[in-house]
Chain A
Amino acid sequence: MSEHLLEVKNLHVSFRNVVGEVKAVRGVDFYLDRGETLGLVGESGCGKSVTVQTVMRLNPEPPAVIKQGSIVYDGVDLAKLDDKGMRKYRGKEFSMIFQDAMTSLNPTTRIGKQMKEMLRAHRDISDAEAKKIILRMLTMVGLPNPETIYSRFPHTLSGGQRQRVMIAMAMSCEPSILIADEPTTALDVTIQAQILEVMNKLKKEMNTSIIFITHNMGVVARMADRLAVMYAGQIIESGTAQDVFYRPKHPYTWGLLGSMPSLKGDVPERLMSIPGTPPDLFDPPRGCGFASRCEHCMNVCVNRVPPETEVAPGHRVRCWLLDPRCKTAVKPPIGRDSELIPGKEDA
């Protein structure tokens, strides 16, 4: 029996439209334990949002279809529930902070009213209690004059202010899983630091589990206990934050860590970047999703999906370079404790 709070297995999600089928998520496995933060990073368009929105069953179905897989939460396979069945989980057990705050706030309703309605839909409290909680949450996320914010409309707030309203809203329900999809992308670093602290505090005090999507490797380093790196609809490397930052094994992870601009040192002419673009998920590649951009690509990579190799306990990588039959030795270009990946003799 699974001990995990949430376990996603072999999840496949597609979008069907007139032209065909976008295979956005192509076999994703991950789990989440109580009180831990899982960081989810990866190329734009690789399926991070679709993955977590599928967990909450927020993608309109159709066009979205769960083609395969299970999402087991507290003994129940959410993938099999209908909308009505899901309703008792959403908001209450799972809360989500969206990437695009503007489209998730109702433009015609004042902030306070929206928050109150949402809160009272999930918790049995009085109007006055709800207001008190909301004002406390608005203060907690660092908004000045919570009283005025309470009576304003979303469009009169700045991007970052809206985002903080969203965060306050999601956290006021005290969910057991908080899914944060790039929650601090719109914020300056001092407020970001404040919000990350708020989330960490919530996690400690209420033993909340967090799935944290971001493309900021600094933020992930601060927040994540474990880390999953996605590319073209698959998790290509996962492990503890230390595994992935200090001993990365997948060529895409190397590129990702390498393109991170830094605050110190010389400013190079150009930033390091991974050439090329990710594959079109209408017609995903037969083999490794990264093959067309990978400088170590071999014949086998183009033709067959790399199997998952467990390089250390809990550190899993999908790359042919790590297969016991691979003869090429590679030196990872990045990572504090990286060692040569030796090529092995033909087995």
Chain B
Amino acid sequence: MSGAGTGYDLSPTTYNPEGRVFQVDYAIKATENGGTIIGLKCRDGILLAGEKNVVSRMMMEGSNKYIFGVTKEIGAVITGVIPDGKSVIMRARQEASQYSEFYGQQIKPTVLADRVAQFMYLFTLYGGLRPFGSTIMLAGKYQNDYRLFMVDPSGAMFEYYSCTAGKGSQVCRTEIDKLRLEDITVRDAVYHVCRMLIKSREETRDKRYEIDMGWVSEESFGLFVPVPTEFRKEMENKAKEDIEREERGE
């Protein structure tokens, strides 16, 4: 079986002659096949959103969310291999609760993101483990500052004004670059994100999907909470109509 990394891709403990670790690259590939996720740092907070294919009509609406709360003020969204992502979230929750147990304070978003990154990095070091096939976006408030981070399967962590991952990430990236994030609120951003996510589903337009969103903002008093469902659905429908209207050329 030949492929790009014949022989050098059997384990995360092997480099190839070009200095790449193929298992980590493959894990990143796995996240690129996942549903699109977006994080936007707006004027008054951060919006996290993700879209997922709904495989069957039998699935309950609103179940199986990809957005999680880690602490009261810090939330996350995942893509890629979902069970991998969930397991990282469980670890993040543990880290956060042990931290506050030991230091008597809520963990800061920077510190939590760092812990998550170190945890994911651990799995790129050993032959007996495989890297997580999931990208995690973390958003949280600390004192008067909103911070947004993204961690990929290699364990690299960066802070962002806006970030995307998953299948439609390139399309959404272009759309985000057209926005002036400092001027819009998280409320405004919900509409824009719905537009982007729907637009990025070009090929799979007819398949059933669901959008999950959560925000941490002035409006939510600095807590990470789900975006109210009726409001989100309203913005989704509006976005859908606007896109259809544009396509009809009006």
Q: Do A and B belong to a common assembly?
A: no
